[in-house]
Structure 1
Amino acid sequence: MKNAFIFDLNGTMVNDMGFHAEAWGTIINGELNGNLTPEQVKREMYGKNEEVLERVFGKGKFTPEEMGKLSIRKEEMYQEAFRPHLQLIDGLHQFLQKAYDYRIPMAIGSAAITFNINFVLDNLNIRRYFSAIVSADDVVKSKPHPQTFLDAAGKLGVNPADCIVFEDAPKGVETAQNAGMQTVVITTMHEPEEFKQYQNILLFIKDYTDERLEKFFFTYQ
Structure 2
Amino acid sequence: MIRAVLFDFDGTLANTLPFYIKAYDKAIKSIGFKFDEKTIVEKCFGKKEKTVCDSLGVPEKTKEFTDSYFLAVKELFRQAPLFAETLPLLDWLKKQGIKIIIITFAYRWYIDQMLKQYNLDDSFDFTISTDDIVHPKPHPEAVFTACKKLGVPPKNTIVVGDSKSDILMGNEAGSKTVLYTRKEYDLFYSLEELKKTNPTYIIDDLSKLKDIVLKS
SS of match in other structure, 1:166: strand
> Does structure 2 conserve the Cα–Cα contact (< 8 Å) formed by 1:108 and 1:132?
yes
| Structure 1 residues 104 and 192, CA gap change in structure 2 (3 angstroms) | same
- Amino acid in the other structure paired with 1:209: S
Separation in structure 2 between the aligned mates of residue 6 and residue 172 of structure 1, nearest angstrom: 10
Q: Which residue of 2 aligns with 1:208?
A: 206
Separation in structure 2 between the aligned mates of residue 91 and residue 62 of structure 1, nearest angstrom: 43
Q: Which residue of 1 aligns with 2:74?
A: 79
Instruction: Confirm whether residue 155 of structure 1 aligns to residue 149 of structure 2.
Output: yes
Q: Which residue of 2 aligns with 1:115?
A: 109
1:136-151 matches, within 5 Å, as: 136-151=130-145
Separation in structure 2 between the aligned mates of residue 19 and residue 191 of structure 1, nearest angstrom: 19
Cα distance per residue 1:119-175 (max 9 Å; x no partner): 221111122221121101112222222222222222222112221111011222222
Separation in structure 1 between the aligned mates of residue 132 and residue 168 of structure 2, nearest angstrom: 19
- Amino acid in the other structure paired with 2:4: A
> Does structure 1 conserve the Cα–Cα contact (< 8 Å) formed by 2:25 and 2:34?
no
Q: Which residue of 1 aligns with 2:48?
A: 49
Taking every aligned residue pair, what percent have the same amino acid on both sides? Answer: 25
**Structure 1 residue 37: Cα displacement:** 4.5
- Amino acid in the other structure paired with 2:59: K
Q: Which residue of 1 aligns with 2:38?
A: 39
The RMSD of aligned alpha carbons is: 2.6
Separation in structure 2 between the aligned mates of residue 47 and residue 151 of structure 1, nearest angstrom: 21
**Structure 1 residue 38: Cα displacement:** 2.5
Separation in structure 1 between the aligned mates of residue 170 and residue 19 of structure 2, nearest angstrom: 25
| Structure 1 residues 133 and 177, CA gap change in structure 2 (3 angstroms) | same
SS of match in other structure, 2:59: coil
Separation in structure 1 between the aligned mates of residue 151 and residue 43 of structure 2, nearest angstrom: 33
Q: Which residue of 2 aligns with 1:17?
A: 17
SS of match in other structure, 2:201: strand
Q: Say how many residue pairs are matched.
A: 211
Separation in structure 2 between the aligned mates of residue 153 and residue 70 of structure 1, nearest angstrom: 36
Deviates more, 1:86-95 or 1:169-178: 169-178
SS of match in other structure, 2:206: coil
Q: Which residue of 2 aligns with 1:185?
A: 179
- Amino acid in the other structure paired with 1:2: I
TM-score normalised to structure 2 length: 0.83
| Structure 1 residues 146 and 56, CA gap change in structure 2 (3 angstroms) | farther
Instruction: Confirm whether residue 217 of structure 1 aligns to residue 214 of structure 2.
Output: yes
Q: Which runs of 5+ in 1 are unaligned?
A: none
TM-score normalised to structure 1 length: 0.81
**Structure 1 residue 118: Cα displacement:** 1.3
> Does structure 2 conserve the Cα–Cα contact (< 8 Å) formed by 1:11 and 1:17?
yes
| Structure 1 residues 36 and 176, CA gap change in structure 2 (3 angstroms) | farther
Deviates more, 1:183-192 or 1:106-115: 183-192
Q: Which residue of 2 aligns with 1:199?
A: 198
**Structure 1 residue 15: Cα displacement:** 0.7
- Amino acid in the other structure paired with 2:74: Q
Separation in structure 2 between the aligned mates of residue 170 and residue 103 of structure 1, nearest angstrom: 28
**Structure 1 residue 107: Cα displacement:** 0.7
> Does structure 1 conserve the Cα–Cα contact (< 8 Å) formed by 2:50 and 2:59?
no
